[in-house]
């Protein structure tokens, strides 16, 4: 357990298992001996944490009152009634966890409705569009260096470049971005869809590579990327009748519907496990489109 995204997901899993009584007292203490030091290493003051992590912060305060200055190695000396009190903290905050989950799902539904209208509108602007998707992330060896502040900084630069139409972002008709947090191998990442004027651009795979290379530049070499715009992947979508990338004709209703269906991935109420557990502020945006 090293990078911030991974540590926060491990803490969330721990809180969930405590709440469901799926973990013994001994296991609670063993995991806390690992999780608390890992969290302290990654801890960022003055940021927003999800309810799972806020519950964990309350646990830390209670544990430190028990240890009275001892190291966390002393956790295995806690008495049964003290562990019971830790369990009760988790149960007491569970309603806040449920409320947060519900709020996330409602927000994603609103985002999805807004996104559908936006994409339908953009596809009607030109008789031909060129759709590019790139997933922007960080390779595993550098993820322990990427916390929410650095990720936010990189995303601000990226969104600024997109808004200004710099380099590979010229001739954009529309765009969508969504920020997420994966587990062991993905960490913080961004899903990006770009819709170009299909009369001015034809090489979608080339544009995807250019965007990925620009991301690597923005991140000073930290970043990596994946694109499904490569010909082999597009051919597989075409065989399934679900192709939503590359050249899209406004007159082809099935193609346009494929794009709408495909882009709903960017705002999906079922992707609760992929949401950010930490943000710079409670109102920090994790989803956006062009005008």
d(CA 155, CA 138) in angstroms, rounded, equals 13
Average confidence (pLDDT) over 169-195:
93
Q: Of 196, 208, 23, which is closest to residue 133 (Cα–Cα)?
A: 208
pLDDT range class, residue 45, cuts 50, 70, 90 = confident
pLDDT range class, residue 275, cuts 50, 70, 90 = very high
Task: State residue 2's pLDDT score.
Answer: 62
Q: Is the pLDDT of residue 151 over 70?
A: yes
Q: Is the pLDDT of residue 1 over 60?
A: no
**pLDDT, tens digit (0-9, with 9 covering 90-100), for 197-236:** 999 999 999 999 999 999 999 999 999 999 999 999 999 9
**pLDDT, tens digit (0-9, with 9 covering 90-100), for 5-44:** 999 999 999 999 999 999 999 999 999 999 999 999 988 8
Average confidence (pLDDT) over 68-93:
92
Residue burial 182-206, b: 16+ Cβ < 10 Å; e: rest = beeebbbbbbbbbbbebeebeebbe
**Can you tell me which residue has the tokens 């770009």?**
194
> DSSP letters along 32-46, please?
HHHHHHHHHHH--TT
């Amino acid at each position: 357990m090293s990078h911030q995204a991974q540590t926060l997901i491990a803490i969330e899993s721990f809180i969930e298992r405590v709440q469901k009584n799926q973990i013994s007292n001994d296991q609670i203490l063993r995991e806390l001996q690992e999780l608390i030091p890992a969290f302290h290493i990654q801890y960022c003051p003055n940021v927003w944490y999800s309810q799972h992590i806020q519950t964990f912060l309350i646990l830390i305060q209670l544990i430190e009152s028990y240890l009275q200055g001892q190291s966390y190695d002393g956790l295995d000396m806690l008495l049964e009634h003290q562990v019971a009190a830790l369990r009760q903290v988790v149960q007491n905050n569970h309603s806040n966890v449920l409320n947060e989950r519900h709020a996330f799902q409602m927000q994603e539904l609103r985002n999805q409705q807004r996104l559908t209208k936006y994409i339908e509108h953009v596809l009607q602007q030109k008789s031909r569009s060129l759709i590019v998707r790139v997933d922007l992330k960080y390779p595993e060896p550098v993820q322990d260096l990427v916390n929410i502040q650095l990720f936010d900084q990189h995303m601000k630069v990226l969104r600024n470049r997109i808004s200004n139409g710099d380099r590979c972002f010229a001739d954009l008709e529309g765009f969508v971005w969504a920020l997420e947090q994966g587990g062991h191998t993905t960490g913080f990442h961004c899903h990006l869809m770009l819709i170009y004027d299909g009369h001015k651009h034809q090489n979608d795979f080339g544009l995807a590579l250019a965007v990925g290379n620009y991301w690597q530049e923005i991140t000073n070499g930290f970043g990596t990327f994946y694109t499904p715009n490569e010909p082999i992947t597009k051919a597989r979508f075409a065989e399934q009748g679900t192709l939503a990338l590359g050249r899209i004709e406004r007159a082809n209703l099935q193609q346009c519907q494929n794009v709408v269906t495909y882009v709903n991935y960017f705002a999906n109420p079922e992707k609760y496990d992929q949401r950010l557990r930490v943000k710079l502020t409670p109102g920090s945006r994790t989803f956006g489109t062009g005008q």
